[in-house]
Structure 1
Amino acid sequence: MNWAGVMPAMTTPFDSNGAVDHAFLAQHAAWLLGNGCTGLVVLGSLGEGATLEYDEKVEALKTVIRAAKGKAPVVAAISSLSTAASVKLAKHAEQLGCEGLLVLPPYVYSTDWREMKQHVSAIIAATRLSCMIYNNPVSYGTDFVPEQIAELAAEHANLHAVKESSTDVRRVSAIRALLGNRLEVFVGVDDAIYEGVAAGATGWIAGLVNAFPAESVELFNLARARKLDEAFDLYRWFLPLLRMDTVPKLVQLIKWVQGQRGVGSANVRAPRLEIVGAELAEAQQVLRTALANRPKINEVPISNFKGA
């Protein structure tokens, strides 16, 4: 498992009846890889994993694994209400052919380090797969601080990476200061990618990449190459869109952008509802401005991957 580069936190497409649209899911996966993404993360927060039934999660993983055709790793995001359910899904993901796991805290329940450590440790130990711990205190109420991440790394040889979504870019430096190169550090919030790479992050679990993969990959590559002026010019253009990834309605907003670009639909599962009113008007203005000033970066069209 090579934890590096831009790995989309894939959205899960739904048809007009609310069922997972597997044909488009496969096409979308192939398109993302065709535009330079290095792996695919399925079933995460942006993928509305909490709304998917167990069998739907399994079928989504199967579809993306088939679409990837062994060209890039497929990572299963693992979270549920209980430790037992998370362990079950982790084992199933290994059997299906996933190459990595993104290990999340449990839904709903947030508690102390003793219980959270037990939960994520059980998932990491359940398979031989390479694992990434997901730190997102804003969304999950659980904050894995650098010292706790170091403790997990010392006890689990197959913990290889961390998705750092605390929104505090200093965490990237703190993890690296404690662990050196023991773990790869990925930025997990879109509007911190420029700063995160400058601090030493080696990857990006990205959101707006679902609609703008070529720009996302170019931005990351420029930042990693330390072409700071070029990277910042692109970042400045991209920032109003990237900020959609850091608000409570990130799923609705990113899917809406996909729909407007013709690379997905705005369909979401309740309790989420599509954006309307002032929120819609604001998103429309942001996207209009972005498209009017879009930089010239070659993007392979999604139509090339129909039937993937």
Structure 2
Amino acid sequence: MQIDWQGVMPAVTTKFTSDDKLDLEMFEVNILAQVEAGVSAIILGGTLGEASTLSHEEKKALIIETVRIVNGKIPVIINVAEQTTKRAIEAAKVAEECGAKALMMLPPMRYKANDYETVTYFKTVANSTKLPIMIYNNPVDYGIEVTLDMLGELIECENIQAIKESTRDISNVTRIKSRFGDRLKVLTGVDTLGLESILMGADGWVAGLVCAFPAETVAIYKLAKAGRIDEAISIYRWFLPLLELDINPQLVQNIKLAEVATGIGTENVRAPRLPLQGDERKRVLKIIKEGVSSRPVLPEYKLL
């Protein structure tokens, strides 16, 4: 399957039962809601997916199950976030064997690699697989920035095709597009810059609150790309208080609470994460309640 690297791509949460096993039944409910809303791909194993807490077998099971659920309608993308080059190559191999169609790759975990080491890491993994790759650039959370010069070296690998832009610098969309044109697709990775990035030319949106509000997220993207900017802005203004739940250390707990409110998820997280407590829980629930009670009526957006 060809990856177009455009549209809305949810970084989905992993669903757990109350006794800490994979909840594949609720997981399917959510994935089907994403497909119905018109997302372009499903991304597994990111921060929202609590990937660092998943076993090797659980990751395989999630890929296989997602491939079954989407049934060829959209591609499944697996995030690769490993501490060693060897483990990253192994993860890419397993992803391909289990039916994933692309990779999203972070720089090496824990070790703060320099520019040369980071480029070598990405290139080595890219050269080990035929799967197309989206580089995840998030120096705010992971401490390593993939610069324009580094990207210039990385695109020597034909299967490095896109970048998830999460520097929080909206001008980076323009910088990347100006330098690389269509050779490198740009997907925004920050929910609170979603519409702004699309209007500045981003090809897609790797989204978080889409996990709870798939239709609204896709509608914003489609309307913006169709030039119906005022309609997109109107929905986005409603959405912003919810989107701000994504730029928070407890984004997983926040978004899972939102999924509960919209009927397509559960609150269960895996330790060391714990459900929100006290005043913070009340604050988040208030935002979610207000958002759900005022959900906008969406225009027909799917065929835009």
TM range (shorter): over 0.9
Aligned to 2:10: 8
Contact kept in structure 2, 1:146 and 1:171, CA below 8 Å: no
Change (3 A) 1:221 1:79: same
Higher mean C-alpha displacement, 7-16 vs 118-127: 118-127
Within the alignment, does 1:198 sit opposite 2:199 as a pair? yes
Residue of structure 2 in register with 1:246 after alignment: 247
Q: What is aligned with 2:27?
A: 25
Map 1:117-136 to 2 at 5 A.
117-136=119-138
- TM-score scaled to structure 1, two decimals? 0.94
Query: 1:271 is matched with which residue?
Result: 272
CA deviations over 1:198-224 (Å, ceiling 9, x no partner):
110010110000000000000111111
1:26 CA displacement = 2.4
Query: Is residue 176 from structure 1 mapped to residue 177 from structure 2 by the alignment?
Result: yes
Contact in 2 for aligned 1:50/1:80 (Cα 8 Å): no
Deviations 1:11-51 (A, max 9, x none): 00000111111222223212211111111001111101111
Secondary structure, aligned partner of 1:197: helix
Structure 2: runs of 5 or more not aligned? none
CA contact (8 A) 2:16 2:23 kept: yes
Distance 2:51 2:41 in 1: 18
TM-score, length-normalised on structure 2? 0.95
Structure 2 letter corresponding to 1:180? G
Q: Distance in 2 between matches of 1:124 and 1:24?
A: 33
Q: 1:132–1:159: 8 Å Cα contact kept in structure 2?
A: yes
Distance (whole Å) between structure 2 residues aligned to residue 123 and residue 19 of structure 1: 31
- Give the structure 1 partner of residue 209 of structure 2: 208
Match of 1:156, as an amino acid?
A: C
Structure 2 counterpart of 1:277, one-letter code:
G
Partner of 1:152: 154
Matched residue of 2:31: which SS? Answer: helix
Of residues 129, 138, 143, the one that matches 2:145 is 143
> What are the superposed Cα offsets for residues 235-261 of structure 1, whole Å, 9 maximum, x if unpaired?
110000011111111111001111122
**1:305 alignment counterpart:** none
Residue in 2 aligned with 1:294? Answer: 295
Question: How many residues are aligned here?
Answer: 298
Rounded to whole Å, the distance in 1 between the matches of 2:225 and 2:194 is 10
Query: Which residue does the alignment assign to 2:109?
Result: 107
SS at match of 1:180: helix
**In structure 2, do the counterparts of structure 1 residues 17 and 298 end up closer, same or farther at CA, with 3 Å as the change threshold?**
farther
In the alignment, the residues of structure 2 paired with residue 197 and residue 171 of structure 1 have an alpha-carbon distance, to the nearest angstrom, of 12
Deviates more, 1:157-166 or 1:114-123: 114-123
How big is each residue's C-alpha offset from its partner over 1:176-214, in whole Å with a ceiling of 9 and x where there is no partner? 111011011001011101110111001011000000000
> Does the CA contact (< 8 Å) of 1:103 and 1:124 recur in 2?
no
Question: Helix, strand or coil: the match of 1:123?
Answer: helix
Q: 1:171 corresponds to which letter in structure 2?
A: N
Query: Distance between the aligned counterparts of 1:51 and 1:110, measured in 2?
Result: 21
State whether residues 257 and 285 of structure 2, in contact with CA within 8 Å, keep that contact through their aligned partners in structure 1. Answer: no
Match of 2:232 in 1: 231
Secondary structure at the aligned position of 1:185 is classed as strand
Please state how far the C-alpha of 1:298 moved relative to its aligned partner.
Answer: 7.7
SS at 2:183 equivalent: coil
The RMSD of aligned alpha carbons is 1.3
Q: Which residues of 2 match residues 69-88 of structure 1 at below 5 A? A: 69-88=71-90
In 1, the alpha carbon distance for the partners of 2:272 and 2:54 equals: 12
Mapped to 2, the partners of 1:235 and 1:67 lie a distance apart of: 29
CA distance in 2, matches of 1:223, 1:108: 38
Task: Give me the whole-angstrom Cα distance separating, in 1, the residues matched to 2:258 and 2:109.
Answer: 27
What's the counterpart of residue 51 of structure 2?
Answer: 49
For the residue of structure 1 that corresponds to 2:91, the secondary structure is helix
1:190/1:245 contact within 8 Å kept = yes
Query: By how many angstroms is 1:90 displaced?
Result: 0.3
Q: Which amino acid in structure 2 is aligned with residue 260 of structure 1? A: A
**Secondary structure of residue in 2 paired with 1:16:** coil
Amino acid at match of 1:53: S
1:97/1:258 CA distance change after superposition, 3 Å: same
